[in-house]
Structure 1
Amino acid sequence: MARDHRPDIDFRTPMRRILIGALVFVLALTFLIWRIDSPRVEQFRAAVIDRVVPNLDWALLPVTKFVDMVEGFQSYASLYEQNQELRRELQQMKAWKEAAVQLEQQNAKLLAQNQVRLDPKLTSVSGVVLADAGSPFRQSVLLNVGARDGIVDGWATMDGLGLVGRISGVGQTTARVILLTDASSRIPVTIQPSGQKAMLVGDNSAAPPVEFLEAPEQVRPGDRVISSGDGGVFPAGLLVGQVELDKDRRLRVRLAADYERLNFLRVLRSHPAEQITAPGRLIAPAIPPRADTLPAAEAAQQPEAGDG
């Protein structure tokens, strides 16, 4: 007896269509209800929100916990960064403490030598920079002090920290200052701590080069440059700047003076040092030895008194 083979009836497709249709209908109905501008509908919407939203706290709990965890991690990262910053500041403070101790020791030594006589003539006159009288080939400024203030050619000028230049041209009420960067500027300097003597040569650039070094290998970037006082051009010990290397590996000086803000300058009253050309009384003249202190052989050769 033949058996009838009927294909299985597939209910999935109709059920899927029914569910999709019902979902679209519910969404459309919700959209229409939410768009209807009516007091009753508004009350209905408020009732639905009051009924449904408070019951969704359990669903939002994981999100809330996750947000709290993220905020706690951010707070921990911020505390870690602050801790590291405090550690760095503590290391800097330890270094500053050591520097302060060294300075205190140096100050104590200087106080012990407070009887050292300083040059009373090394005073200063402050002046206001009137204008920049420079050019691409000459760099200088004008001051509102001159011969009436006792200004003399060749005196050094400084800003609040470093050497700026020298007086070159004095009028009755004004004076011109040739800057260290000018091409005609040549000043002898000393490089510390090596003690190397050199010449700072202006070349119309912001960082003049250092020339005539005896041992350039002993000079390092960051070394301190001060005026040497050789030749009596400038007083010794005036801060000039620090050594640096340019892109051509040439030694230059980063000037300590702020050339971008030259508003006030100090003119140092310096006077040439007294030249000692002859020996003083501290050097005793040669005295011939006495005969009674000579050996017997030399005493016999000495002429006796009364020989004729």
Structure 2
Amino acid sequence: MARDRNADYDFRTPVRRILIGVVGFLLLVIFLIWRIDSPRVERFRTAFIDRVVPNMDWAMAPVTKLADMVGGFQSYASLYEQNQELRRELQRMKSWKEAAVQLEQQNAKLLAQNQVRLDPKLTSVSGVVLADSGSPFRQSVLLNVGARDGIVDGWATMDGLGLVGRISGVGERTARVILLTDASSRIPVTIQPSGQRAMLVGDNTPAPPVEFLETPEQVRPGDRVISSGDGGIFPAGLLVGVVEADSERRLRVRLAADYERLSFLRVLRSHPAEEINEAGSLILPAFPPIQPAVTLPENAPPATVEPGDG
């Protein structure tokens, strides 16, 4: 077996060398033919190309397809890179758009706070929202104003567009605001134009329901809801929102305040009205005093008028 393998190896080696030599010779001949500058050789080259090249389309098809594939891949890579760059540019534009929208809304809130019309008896203190401590069970925010600024529990807060909540907890430098959406929030409201009195009850949803309506059929979606001032909890006439109906046809209030972006809040100083416990003295008009009537005794004779008396 070892001899047969050695014999095959000895036979294949010379054949391989002969084939390599023949191929090298042919390549050399083709090179020389293509390099010789002679009219006769040029005619030979032309005739050879006319005979061979048209019949070699089937052989050139894979090369053409491969070239097209390479060009298509290069175009795809270029398009992919352009697409990625456009995506990055779009992401940057989205971030700039979001920043512009936030600045626009913040500017609108500040302008609304400057132009808000309140009762002349009311004054206000503006504060910045430090943190949002909202949760599924409690919704509130913290302000950077507190007892040093004269803040008192129970005062109403607005964002320039509508009522937000009330102060519930005051520190020296901060105060907590319970939002109208909190489950512990209950405020009396008036629904216009019907004038219905109701109670806005927070339930930890963006649109709290309206309860204790006497005649709900007089209330329509789109009616304005304002604070009624009953109980002295909030000043009367503060905008709360508009009425809307949910899928269960339950009346709810779409709040006017933008709870998604609470940046600045205005705390309304609403001092309680002075109570009158004592009755005041009655002031009579300045008429001349009335003379008391003269009473005659029962046995007195009737008075007679003499002639000539005036």
Q: Name the TM-score, length of structure 2 as normaliser.
A: 0.53
Counterpart of 1:188? 188
Counterpart of 1:185, as a letter, is S
Counterpart of 1:207? 207
Shift of 1:169: 0.2
**For each residue in 1:103-155, what CA deviation from the matched residue of structure 2 results, as whole angstroms up to 9, or x when unmatched?**
xxxxxxxxxxxxxxx95441110100000122211100000000000000000
Inter-partner Cα distance in structure 1 for 2:150 and 2:297: 69
**Identity of counterpart residues, as a percentage?**
84
Q: Is 2:140 aligned against 1:140?
A: yes
Counterpart of 2:106? none
Counterpart of 1:188, as a letter, is P
Inter-partner Cα distance in structure 1 for 2:123 and 2:162: 16
Question: Which secondary structure does the structure 1 equivalent of 2:274 belong to?
Answer: coil
Counterpart of 1:168? 168
Inter-partner Cα distance in structure 1 for 2:227 and 2:172: 29
Counterpart of 1:230? 230
**For each residue in 1:5-49, what CA deviation from the matched residue of structure 2 results, as whole angstroms up to 9, or x when unmatched?**
xxxxxxxxxxxxxxxxxxxxxxxxxxx9xxx9xxxxxxxxxxxxx
Shift of 1:279: 5.1
Counterpart of 2:18? none
Q: Give unmatched runs, 5+ long, in structure 2.
A: 1-49, 55-117, 285-289, 299-310
Inter-partner Cα distance in structure 2 for 1:138 and 1:262: 16
Inter-partner Cα distance in structure 1 for 2:151 and 2:127: 11
Counterpart of 2:197, as a letter, is K
Inter-partner Cα distance in structure 2 for 1:283 and 1:228: 35
Let me know the Cα RMSD of the aligned residues: 2.9
Counterpart of 1:107? none
Inter-partner Cα distance in structure 2 for 1:271 and 1:227: 16
Q: Is 2:270 aligned against 1:270?
A: yes
Change (3 A) 1:245 1:151: same
Larger radius of gyration: 2
Change (3 A) 1:217 1:170: same
| Number of residues of Structure 1 aligned to a counterpart in Structure 2 | 180
Higher mean C-alpha deviation, range 181-190 or range 127-136:
127-136
Inter-partner Cα distance in structure 1 for 2:119 and 2:182: 30
Question: Which secondary structure does the structure 1 equivalent of 2:148 belong to?
Answer: helix
Q: Name the TM-score, length of structure 1 as normaliser.
A: 0.53
Inter-partner Cα distance in structure 1 for 2:124 and 2:198: 26
